[in-house]
Protein backbone atom coordinates (compact mmCIF):
# COMPACT_ATOMS: atom_id res chain seq x y z
CA UNK A 1 0.00 0.00 0.00
CA UNK A 2 1.22 3.47 -0.81
CA UNK A 3 2.27 5.68 2.08
CA UNK A 4 1.18 8.87 0.34
CA UNK A 5 -2.26 9.28 1.89
CA UNK A 6 -1.03 8.81 5.48
CA UNK A 7 1.77 11.25 4.73
CA UNK A 8 -0.72 13.79 3.43
CA UNK A 9 -2.82 13.46 6.58
CA UNK A 10 0.11 13.77 8.97
CA UNK A 11 -1.05 15.89 11.89
CA UNK A 12 0.59 19.17 12.79
CA UNK A 13 2.15 19.91 16.15
CA UNK A 14 3.24 23.13 17.85
CA UNK A 15 5.19 25.96 16.22
CA UNK A 16 7.67 24.32 13.83
CA UNK A 17 11.43 24.82 13.71
CA UNK A 18 12.63 26.74 10.65
CA UNK A 19 15.64 26.32 8.39
CA UNK A 20 18.10 29.19 8.06
CA UNK A 21 18.07 31.38 4.91
CA UNK A 22 21.42 29.85 3.89
CA UNK A 23 19.89 26.37 4.01
CA UNK A 24 16.83 27.46 2.02
CA UNK A 25 18.80 29.28 -0.67
CA UNK A 26 22.27 27.67 -0.85
CA UNK A 27 24.93 28.91 -3.22
CA UNK A 28 25.23 27.26 -5.66
CA UNK A 29 21.59 26.09 -5.72
CA UNK A 30 21.04 22.38 -5.16
CA UNK A 31 18.65 22.33 -8.11
CA UNK A 32 21.63 22.62 -10.47
CA UNK A 33 22.19 18.90 -9.90
CA UNK A 34 18.92 18.34 -11.79
CA UNK A 35 19.69 20.62 -14.73
CA UNK A 36 20.02 19.88 -18.42
CA UNK A 37 23.39 18.53 -19.47
CA UNK A 38 26.28 20.65 -20.63
CA UNK A 39 26.76 22.33 -23.02
CA UNK A 40 23.80 24.59 -22.21
CA UNK A 41 22.37 27.45 -24.18
CA UNK A 42 20.55 30.32 -22.49
CA UNK A 43 17.43 31.31 -24.39
CA UNK A 44 15.20 34.15 -23.23
CA UNK A 45 11.54 33.27 -23.85
CA UNK A 46 8.86 35.71 -22.73
CA UNK A 47 11.25 37.25 -20.24
CA UNK A 48 12.45 33.92 -18.80
CA UNK A 49 16.03 32.70 -19.23
CA UNK A 50 15.66 29.02 -20.05
CA UNK A 51 18.56 26.57 -19.88
CA UNK A 52 18.48 24.34 -22.95
CA UNK A 53 20.64 21.41 -24.01
CA UNK A 54 20.69 20.41 -27.68
CA UNK A 55 22.43 17.17 -28.66
CA UNK A 56 22.53 18.21 -32.35
CA UNK A 57 22.76 21.99 -32.80
CA UNK A 58 23.40 21.43 -36.52
CA UNK A 59 19.78 20.23 -36.75
CA UNK A 60 20.70 17.29 -38.97
CA UNK A 61 18.41 14.80 -37.17
CA UNK A 62 14.70 14.59 -36.30
CA UNK A 63 14.01 16.53 -33.11
CA UNK A 64 12.64 15.19 -29.82
CA UNK A 65 11.85 17.92 -27.25
CA UNK A 66 11.81 16.59 -23.67
CA UNK A 67 9.68 18.23 -20.95
CA UNK A 68 10.22 17.30 -17.30
CA UNK A 69 8.01 16.98 -14.22
CA UNK A 70 7.65 19.78 -11.67
CA UNK A 71 10.54 19.96 -9.21
CA UNK A 72 12.76 17.90 -11.51
CA UNK A 73 14.99 19.10 -14.37
CA UNK A 74 15.95 18.36 -17.95
CA UNK A 75 18.68 16.04 -16.71
CA UNK A 76 15.91 13.48 -16.16
CA UNK A 77 16.30 12.51 -19.81
CA UNK A 78 20.01 11.59 -19.71
CA UNK A 79 19.44 7.85 -20.25
CA UNK A 80 16.98 8.54 -23.06
CA UNK A 81 19.49 10.87 -24.74
CA UNK A 82 22.29 8.34 -24.35
CA UNK A 83 20.16 5.71 -26.10
CA UNK A 84 18.84 7.86 -28.96
CA UNK A 85 21.18 10.80 -29.62
CA UNK A 86 22.88 8.96 -32.48
CA UNK A 87 19.57 9.00 -34.39
CA UNK A 88 17.65 11.96 -33.01
CA UNK A 89 18.24 15.54 -32.00
CA UNK A 90 17.43 15.43 -28.27
CA UNK A 91 16.50 18.84 -26.85
CA UNK A 92 16.00 19.18 -23.10
CA UNK A 93 14.91 22.25 -21.18
CA UNK A 94 14.69 23.26 -17.52
CA UNK A 95 11.38 24.86 -16.61
CA UNK A 96 11.64 28.28 -14.88
CA UNK A 97 13.11 28.24 -11.39
CA UNK A 98 14.20 24.64 -11.86
CA UNK A 99 17.52 23.15 -12.92
CA UNK A 100 19.66 25.97 -14.35
CA UNK A 101 16.81 28.18 -15.61
CA UNK A 102 16.00 31.63 -14.28
CA UNK A 103 12.85 32.66 -12.44
CA UNK A 104 9.46 33.49 -13.91
CA UNK A 105 7.08 36.24 -12.86
CA UNK A 106 4.16 33.96 -13.74
CA UNK A 107 3.26 30.90 -11.63
CA UNK A 108 4.00 27.38 -12.82
CA UNK A 109 1.20 25.68 -14.74
CA UNK A 110 0.78 23.53 -17.82
CA UNK A 111 -0.75 26.56 -19.58
CA UNK A 112 2.33 28.68 -18.82
CA UNK A 113 4.67 25.90 -19.85
CA UNK A 114 2.78 25.44 -23.12
CA UNK A 115 3.42 29.12 -23.89
CA UNK A 116 7.11 28.81 -23.03
CA UNK A 117 7.35 25.67 -25.17
CA UNK A 118 5.85 27.56 -28.11
CA UNK A 119 8.39 30.36 -27.66
CA UNK A 120 11.23 27.86 -27.35
CA UNK A 121 10.21 26.11 -30.55
CA UNK A 122 10.01 29.43 -32.36
CA UNK A 123 13.45 30.46 -31.07
CA UNK A 124 14.96 27.17 -32.26
CA UNK A 125 12.92 27.23 -35.50
CA UNK A 126 11.45 23.82 -34.72
CA UNK A 127 8.52 22.23 -36.51
CA UNK A 128 7.15 18.69 -36.74
CA UNK A 129 8.89 17.59 -33.54
CA UNK A 130 8.30 14.68 -31.20
CA UNK A 131 7.24 16.02 -27.80
CA UNK A 132 8.24 13.82 -24.87
CA UNK A 133 6.56 14.92 -21.64
CA UNK A 134 6.33 13.60 -18.09
CA UNK A 135 3.71 14.79 -15.56
CA UNK A 136 3.23 18.56 -15.99
CA UNK A 137 5.58 18.28 -18.97
CA UNK A 138 3.15 15.78 -20.48
CA UNK A 139 0.25 18.17 -19.84
CA UNK A 140 2.16 20.99 -21.55
CA UNK A 141 2.87 18.69 -24.51
CA UNK A 142 -0.81 17.73 -24.75
CA UNK A 143 -1.90 21.36 -24.63
CA UNK A 144 0.55 22.32 -27.36
CA UNK A 145 -0.44 19.36 -29.54
CA UNK A 146 -4.12 20.23 -29.21
CA UNK A 147 -3.48 23.85 -30.16
CA UNK A 148 -0.83 23.22 -32.86
CA UNK A 149 -1.22 19.69 -34.22
CA UNK A 150 0.59 20.65 -37.43
CA UNK A 151 3.79 21.28 -35.44
CA UNK A 152 3.82 17.93 -33.61
CA UNK A 153 5.03 14.81 -35.35
CA UNK A 154 4.24 12.54 -32.40
CA UNK A 155 3.76 12.52 -28.64
CA UNK A 156 5.58 10.40 -26.06
CA UNK A 157 3.84 10.73 -22.71
CA UNK A 158 4.66 9.36 -19.26
CA UNK A 159 1.90 9.80 -16.66
CA UNK A 160 0.84 13.20 -17.99
CA UNK A 161 -1.38 15.62 -16.14
CA UNK A 162 -4.69 16.72 -17.59
CA UNK A 163 -6.46 13.37 -18.02
CA UNK A 164 -7.85 12.78 -14.51
CA UNK A 165 -11.62 13.38 -14.18
CA UNK A 166 -11.14 15.45 -11.01
CA UNK A 167 -13.94 15.64 -8.47
CA UNK A 168 -14.11 15.92 -4.69
CA UNK A 169 -11.41 13.35 -3.94
CA UNK A 170 -8.99 14.95 -6.40
CA UNK A 171 -9.58 18.38 -4.87
CA UNK A 172 -9.03 17.00 -1.37
CA UNK A 173 -5.82 15.30 -2.48
CA UNK A 174 -4.52 18.44 -4.17
CA UNK A 175 -5.37 20.72 -1.23
CA UNK A 176 -3.48 18.50 1.20
CA UNK A 177 -0.46 18.25 -1.07
CA UNK A 178 -0.39 22.02 -1.48
CA UNK A 179 -0.53 22.48 2.29
CA UNK A 180 2.50 20.21 2.70
CA UNK A 181 4.50 21.97 0.00
CA UNK A 182 3.67 25.29 1.65
CA UNK A 183 5.63 24.01 4.66
CA UNK A 184 8.66 23.87 2.41
CA UNK A 185 8.02 27.43 1.24
CA UNK A 186 7.84 28.50 4.90
CA UNK A 187 11.17 26.75 5.56
CA UNK A 188 9.84 24.31 8.16
CA UNK A 189 12.56 21.86 9.22
CA UNK A 190 10.17 18.90 9.26
CA UNK A 191 9.43 19.40 5.55
CA UNK A 192 12.72 17.76 4.55
CA UNK A 193 11.89 14.40 6.15
CA UNK A 194 8.31 14.51 4.85
CA UNK A 195 9.52 15.31 1.33
CA UNK A 196 11.99 12.43 1.42
CA UNK A 197 9.23 10.02 2.44
CA UNK A 198 6.92 11.50 -0.17
CA UNK A 199 9.46 11.01 -2.96
CA UNK A 200 10.14 7.45 -1.85
CA UNK A 201 6.61 6.83 -3.16
CA UNK A 202 7.07 8.87 -6.34
CA UNK A 203 10.25 7.39 -7.81
CA UNK A 204 10.14 3.80 -6.58
CA UNK A 205 12.66 1.82 -8.56
CA UNK A 206 16.24 1.51 -7.24
CA UNK A 207 17.51 2.65 -10.63
CA UNK A 208 16.17 6.15 -9.88
CA UNK A 209 17.63 6.39 -6.35
CA UNK A 210 20.32 8.91 -7.25
CA UNK A 211 17.86 11.12 -9.05
CA UNK A 212 15.41 10.89 -6.17
CA UNK A 213 18.09 11.98 -3.70
CA UNK A 214 18.94 15.02 -5.82
CA UNK A 215 15.26 16.00 -6.09
CA UNK A 216 14.81 15.68 -2.32
CA UNK A 217 17.96 17.70 -1.65
CA UNK A 218 16.50 20.57 -3.72
CA UNK A 219 13.09 20.29 -2.05
CA UNK A 220 13.07 23.71 -0.39
CA UNK A 221 14.07 25.38 -3.66
CA UNK A 222 11.34 23.49 -5.55
CA UNK A 223 8.59 24.02 -2.98
CA UNK A 224 7.26 27.33 -4.43
CA UNK A 225 6.98 25.79 -7.90
CA UNK A 226 5.31 22.69 -6.44
CA UNK A 227 2.70 24.86 -4.71
CA UNK A 228 2.00 26.80 -7.91
CA UNK A 229 1.81 23.73 -10.12
CA UNK A 230 -0.46 21.73 -7.83
CA UNK A 231 -2.76 24.71 -7.34
CA UNK A 232 -3.01 24.96 -11.13
CA UNK A 233 -4.04 21.30 -11.39
CA UNK A 234 -7.26 22.15 -9.53
CA UNK A 235 -8.30 24.80 -12.07
CA UNK A 236 -10.96 23.98 -14.70
CA UNK A 237 -8.58 24.59 -17.61
CA UNK A 238 -6.30 21.81 -16.32
CA UNK A 239 -8.75 19.24 -17.72
CA UNK A 240 -7.51 18.36 -21.23
CA UNK A 241 -9.85 15.47 -21.97
CA UNK A 242 -12.19 17.41 -24.26
CA UNK A 243 -9.38 18.10 -26.73
CA UNK A 244 -8.14 14.53 -27.10
CA UNK A 245 -10.18 13.95 -30.25
CA UNK A 246 -8.17 16.70 -31.99
CA UNK A 247 -4.93 14.75 -31.63
CA UNK A 248 -4.15 13.36 -35.06
CA UNK A 249 -0.53 12.40 -34.47
CA UNK A 250 0.79 9.00 -33.22
CA UNK A 251 0.98 8.82 -29.42
CA UNK A 252 3.09 6.54 -27.24
CA UNK A 253 2.11 6.35 -23.58
CA UNK A 254 4.49 4.74 -21.11
CA UNK A 255 2.55 4.42 -17.87
CA UNK A 256 4.11 3.95 -14.43
CA UNK A 257 1.59 1.57 -12.90
CA UNK A 258 2.55 2.21 -9.26
CA UNK A 259 1.86 5.94 -9.54
CA UNK A 260 -0.23 7.10 -6.55
CA UNK A 261 -0.36 10.70 -7.80
CA UNK A 262 -1.49 10.14 -11.40
CA UNK A 263 -3.29 6.85 -11.02
CA UNK A 264 -3.89 4.56 -13.97
CA UNK A 265 -7.42 3.67 -12.85
CA UNK A 266 -8.49 7.32 -12.78
CA UNK A 267 -6.89 8.02 -16.18
CA UNK A 268 -7.82 4.82 -18.02
CA UNK A 269 -10.91 6.19 -19.79
CA UNK A 270 -8.96 9.14 -21.18
CA UNK A 271 -6.11 6.92 -22.30
CA UNK A 272 -8.54 4.65 -24.12
CA UNK A 273 -9.98 7.72 -25.87
CA UNK A 274 -6.66 8.68 -27.46
CA UNK A 275 -7.28 8.37 -31.22
CA UNK A 276 -3.85 7.02 -32.18
CA UNK A 277 -2.46 5.83 -28.88
CA UNK A 278 -0.10 2.99 -27.99
CA UNK A 279 -0.02 2.15 -24.28
CA UNK A 280 2.83 0.28 -22.60
CA UNK A 281 2.61 -0.39 -18.85
CA UNK A 282 5.66 -0.36 -16.57
CA UNK A 283 4.82 -2.33 -13.46
CA UNK A 284 7.79 -1.32 -11.27
CA UNK A 285 7.64 2.44 -11.83
CA UNK A 286 6.08 5.10 -9.63
CA UNK A 287 5.92 8.16 -11.91
CA UNK A 288 8.67 8.21 -14.56
CA UNK A 289 9.41 4.87 -16.25
CA UNK A 290 12.16 6.39 -18.41
CA UNK A 291 14.00 7.07 -15.12
CA UNK A 292 12.95 3.99 -13.17
CA UNK A 293 13.08 1.32 -15.91
CA UNK A 294 15.23 3.07 -18.50
CA UNK A 295 16.30 0.04 -20.53
CA UNK A 296 12.78 -1.37 -20.74
CA UNK A 297 11.32 2.02 -21.58
CA UNK A 298 13.88 2.71 -24.30
CA UNK A 299 13.32 -0.74 -25.80
CA UNK A 300 9.56 -0.13 -25.86
CA UNK A 301 9.67 3.36 -27.38
CA UNK A 302 12.33 2.58 -29.99
CA UNK A 303 10.05 0.83 -32.51
CA UNK A 304 7.44 3.56 -32.04
CA UNK A 305 9.96 6.27 -32.94
CA UNK A 306 11.36 4.22 -35.81
CA UNK A 307 7.87 3.80 -37.32
CA UNK A 308 7.01 7.51 -37.43
CA UNK A 309 6.30 8.88 -40.89
The 3-state secondary structure of 90-107 reads: EEEECCCCCCCCCCCCCC
Which stretch of DSSP H or E encloses residue 271? helix 264-272
What would the mean pLDDT of 197-223 be, rounded to a whole number? 97
- How is 251-262 classified by DSSP, letter by letter? EEEEEETT-SSS
Q: Quote the pLDDT of residue 255.
A: 98
- pLDDT recorded at residue 7: 53
Q: How confident is the model at residue 69 (pLDDT cuts 50, 70, 90)?
A: very high
Q: Residue 3: what pLDDT?
A: 55
pLDDT score recorded for residue 1 = 38
Q: What is the mean pLDDT of residues 288-305?
A: 98
Q: List the strands of the sheet with 251-256, edge to edge.
A: 41-45, 48-54, 89-93, 63-67, 129-134, 152-158, 251-256, 277-282
Burial of 307 by CB count in 10 Å (0-12 exposed, 13-18 middle, 19+ buried)?
A: exposed
Distance CA 232, CA 260 (A): 19
The predicted-structure confidence for 52-66, as pLDDT tens digits, reads as follows: 999 999 999 999 999
6, pLDDT greater than 90: no
Rounded percentage of the chain residues whose pLDDT exceeds 90: 93
139: Cβ contacts below 8 Å, ≥ 6 apart: 110, 113, 133, 160, 161, 162, 238, 240
Helix/strand number for the chain, H first, E second: 12, 8
If you write DSSP's letter for every residue of 208-241 in order, what string do you get? GHHHHHHHHHTHHHHHHHHHHHHHHHTSGGG--G
pLDDT at 241: 97
Distance CA 127, CA 14 (A): 55
Ramachandran category for residue 128: left, alpha or beta (phi over 0 → left; psi -120 to 50 → alpha) = left
Architecture field, domain 21-306 = 3-Layer(aba) Sandwich (3.40)
Q: Is the pLDDT of residue 233 over 70?
A: yes
Report the candidate in 29, 20, 77, 17 with the shortest Cα–Cα distance to residue 53.
77
Instruction: Give the start-to-end residue ranges of the domains of the chain.
Output: 21-306
- The DSSP bridge partners found for residue 280 are 254
Amino acid sequence: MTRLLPLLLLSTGCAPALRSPAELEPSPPRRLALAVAEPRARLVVDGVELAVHDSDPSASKPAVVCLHAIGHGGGDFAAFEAAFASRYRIITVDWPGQGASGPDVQPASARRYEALLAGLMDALKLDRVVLFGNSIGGAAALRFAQAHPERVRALVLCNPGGLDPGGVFARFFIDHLVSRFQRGVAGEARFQDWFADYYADVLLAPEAAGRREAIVAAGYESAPRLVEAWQSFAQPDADLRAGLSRLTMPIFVGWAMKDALVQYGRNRDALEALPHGTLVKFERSGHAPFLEEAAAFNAAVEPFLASLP
